[in-house]
Amino acid sequence: MSRNSGKLAVVTGASTGIGYELARCCAEDGFDLLIAADEPEIHQAAEDFKKLGVQVESIEADLATISGVETLYDATKGRAVDALLANAGRGLGGAFLDQDFDEVRHIIDTNITGTIYLVQKVGSDMRSRGQGRILFTGSIAGFTPGSFNATYNGTKAFVDSFSFALRNELKDTGVTVTCLMPGATETEFFERADMLDTKIGQSKKDDPADVAKAGYEAMMSGDGDVVTGFKNKVLSAAALVMPSDVLAEQHRKKAEPGSANK
Ligand SMILES: NC(=O)c1ccc[n+]([C@@H]2O[C@H](COP(=O)([O-])OP(=O)(O)OC[C@H]3O[C@@H](n4cnc5c(N)ncnc54)[C@H](OP(=O)(O)O)[C@@H]3O)[C@@H](O)[C@H]2O)c1
């Protein structure tokens, strides 16, 4: 019997990409799953994970909304959540002043508001029980002003910072908080952010299965964070000492619309 039999992991954004692979890591390690995303594709992911021999429930909910988060939380039906992997997120390429503000707000509400609302609800239960693991999917994007994906990078700066603050608040409670900080990863992210005509959109990226495995292991070890891949470790270390203007200019070169052809 697996060490996690009978335990429950909640994974958001588990229909594709890093979240799908995080959910797979949980299921392969014996966790039952409650998974969520905004589109019906989440139910197909659930069918995939059931083949791994665990119980799986899937919820379709817009986690940018308070009601969407509550729908997911209510689906736990009072069952203890042993691991919460708050992974759902999206980007929005292009020049900020030309963007539709509803779309901008949806990025903020998904990556920040919905994420921390869910973490507050589930985290409170974990603290009462004196145990639990929380994983945020942050990003190394949080270290860099993200010209032409500005709102997204700002949200990830929030998540990276918030994760460490919450970790500190919860020390000695039995609840651990970990931040997974990937670099560019081969998922649907860049297509959904309308960034396929950018240098970064066209670049070779990390394998989401490798990224998720590193995040899952860090969460299970109770580490504070994990930056995946050697190149990303160098990029994030450099970002700590480089002037923000320089970082923003570098980001422009890889994220400006049309940069793939320059
Ligand atoms: N790919 C990268 O280069 C990269 C690098 C660093 C960090 N990240 C972070 O990794 C996380 C996963 O992204 P990914 O790269 O795996 O991209 P992805 O393949 O586009 O997956 C995003 C997941 O989040 C879900 N989602 C997005 N908005 C949602 C909402 N409002 N409500 C419910 N579900 C929502 C999507 O489901 P629906 O399709 O149903 O909306 C999907 O399951 C994100 O937080 C992203 O910021 C990605």
227's CB contacts (< 8 A; 6+ apart) are 140, 181, 182, 183, 233, 236
What's the pLDDT at 2?
Answer: 79
The three-state secondary structure class of 126 is: helix
- Say if ligand 1 is within 6 A of residue 15 CB: yes
Note the pLDDT tens digit of each residue in 92-119. 999 999 999 999 999 999 999 999 999 9
Q: Which of 12, 18, 152 to mutate to test the pocket of ligand 1 (most atoms within 8 A of CB)?
A: 18
Ligand 1 center from residue 87 Cα (angstroms): 7
Note the pLDDT tens digit of each residue in 122-160. 999 999 999 999 999 999 999 999 999 999 999 999 999
By annotation, the residues acting in catalysis are: 152, 156
Q: Which of 92, 187, 190, 213 to mutate to test the pocket of ligand 1 (most atoms within 8 A of CB)?
A: 187
Taking the model in full, what pTM does it have? 0.98
- Say if ligand 1 is within 6 A of residue 13 CB: yes
Cα torsion 210, 212, 215, 216: sign? negative
- Please say if the pLDDT value at position 262 is more than 90: no
- Say if ligand 1 is within 6 A of residue 138 CB: no
- Say if ligand 1 is within 6 A of residue 188 CB: yes
Q: Where are the alpha helices (DSSP H) in 80-114?
A: 101-108
Note the pLDDT tens digit of each residue in 41-86. 999 999 999 999 999 999 999 999 999 999 999 999 999 999 999 9
